[in-house]
Amino acid sequence: MSDDILKLEGVSHAFGNTHVLDNVTIDAKPGELLCLLGPSGCGKTTALRLAAGIEELQQGRITLSGQTVAAPGLHVPPERRSVGMVFQDYALFPHLSILRNVQFGLSDLDAAAKRQRAGEVLEQVGMSAYGESYPHMLSGGQQQRVALARALAPKPRVLLLDEPFSGLDSNLRAHIRDETLHVVKDSGTTTLIVTHDPEEAMYMADRIVVMNEGRVEQIDIPDKLYTAPANAFVATFFSSINRLEGVVRAKMVATPFGLISAPDLGDGTPVEVLMRPEALRVTPLDGALPEGAASAHVLDARMLRRASFIHLCFGGFEGQHLHFHSRVPGRYMPKIGDHVAVTLERAQTFVFPLRQKSR
Ligand SMILES: Nc1ncnc2c1ncn2[C@@H]1O[C@H](COP(=O)(O)OP(=O)(O)OP(=O)(O)O)[C@@H](O)[C@H]1O
Ligand SMILES: [Mg+2]
């Protein structure tokens, strides 16, 4: 018997002839905050709607606390799943006050208990003062908090949030997602949040489910996904990345920075070498090139918040001109045309066999 609160097992789904989910398996442990992360159209919302019971399951199985709520021929309706949902547009009832909006899902309680519970959750999200207001009187961020309070009010087993911050500008977004993280964690509710923003997922998630074209590419803690991606899609999704194609020779691949080891790949395997911008260490070049460094010249240098982003040109590596990027913490602004020495940190360099496009 597993201790999963929410489990999707081998879930596949199609709309007409369009296959949207392909054998998706996801499990959420008690109190865990999972993020479903992937590009637009990869099936995130569909997975969430199936878990909520808004969409009927075609193939696979969904369990909540070990109880099957969806399987072919079995469909427990949303209101009997004890699942709270927050939609992208918050979906508050415009004609109901904030207090009534939050009370809406509390059908099992008497009037006094409803008021009390609604008051509690409004307090939790810092919206106690707005009980008598109406949704149109609130800002986007305030509406988001109310939507979260409404979803939490019935103490659901699972909270499902679909891009809950996408309507907010970037400063407010950072603030509200931090608040949401703490409210959700304090409530102890197992939570699945959909996002297409890797930074948001890394900020919030205990584990991230990376999806692509209806499939799960990798499920892991944020640190592991960033430092040990399972494949090129996952590596590339988390940051802009420098890329080079090559061929394995004697368990090695050639790069401008010397040989990179590819211990598990056979001779002649076509591969891609992916190097995070922060793996490229740039120093001024005066005199001889240090051991293991490649020479480059600077095409441009920009401040990007707390890091400098440097565009580099490596002339003549195996007949190619390579344009790579380096991200250097703090302010380092070499001049355009400067010659620099660049070394590569191997820990943030990944080698994968070139994947044939399957669809
Ligand atoms: N009700 C529907 N009928 C037909 N096709 C649909 C339906 N809902 C979704 N789709 C299609 O299924 C695919 C996955 O949609 P889904 O909304 O799950 O993606 P998503 O990952 O949530 O994307 P986004 O990040 O843009 O919200 C898309 O190609 C979409 O057009
Ligand atoms: Mg979606």
Tens of pLDDT along 69-126?
A: 999 999 999 989 999 999 877 789 999 999 999 998 888 889 899 999 999 999 988 8
Query: What's the pLDDT tens digit per position in 116-174?
Result: 999 999 998 889 999 999 999 998 889 989 999 999 999 999 999 999 888 788 888 88
Domain count for the chain? 2
Is 217 among the domain residues? Answer: yes
Question: Which pTM value belongs to this model?
Answer: 0.91
Token representation of residue 215: 């499939």
The full length of the chain comes to 359
Do 260 and 124 reside in the same domain of the chain? no
Do 162 and 268 reside in the same domain of the chain? no
Q: Phi then psi for 196, rounded to 5 degrees?
A: -110, 10
Is 266 among the domain residues? Answer: yes
Indicate the residue among 205, 236, 267 that finishes a domain: 236
Indicate the residue among 191, 206, 236 that finishes a domain: 236
Q: Is the pLDDT higher at 227 or at 318?
A: 227
Do 133 and 198 reside in the same domain of the chain? yes
Do 263 and 197 reside in the same domain of the chain? no
Query: What's the pLDDT tens digit per position in 287-333?
Result: 888 888 999 999 999 998 889 999 999 987 787 789 999 999 999 99
Query: What's the pLDDT tens digit per position in 1-52?
Result: 568 899 999 999 999 999 999 999 999 999 999 999 999 999 999 999 999 9
Beta bridge partners of 8: 26, 62
Closest ligand 1 atom, residue 163 Cα: 27
User: Of the candidates 352, 244, 229, which has an alpha carbon nearest to the alpha carbon of residue 294?
Assistant: 244
Alpha carbon nearest to ligand 1 atom 10, residue: 15
Alpha carbon nearest to ligand 1 atom 6, residue: 15
Do 162 and 33 reside in the same domain of the chain? yes
Give ∠ CA 15-161-12 in degrees, rounded to 5. 30
Ligand 1 and 41: CB distance under 6 A:
yes
Do 78 and 221 reside in the same domain of the chain? yes
Is 359 among the domain residues? Answer: no
The band of 359, judged by pLDDT with boundaries at 50, 70 and 90, is very low
Ligand 1 and 196: CB distance under 6 A:
yes
Is 196 among the domain residues? Answer: yes
Do 279 and 183 reside in the same domain of the chain? no
Candidate from 44, 55, 161, 216 with most ligand 1 atoms within 8 A of CB, to mutate = 44
Q: What CATH number does the domain containing 158 carry?
A: 3.40.50.300
Are the C-beta atoms of 232 and 226 separated by less than 8 Å?
no
Count of CB atoms situated within 10 Å of the CB of 224: 14
For residue 61, what are the domain limits? 6-236
Is 358 among the domain residues? Answer: no
Do 86 and 192 reside in the same domain of the chain? yes
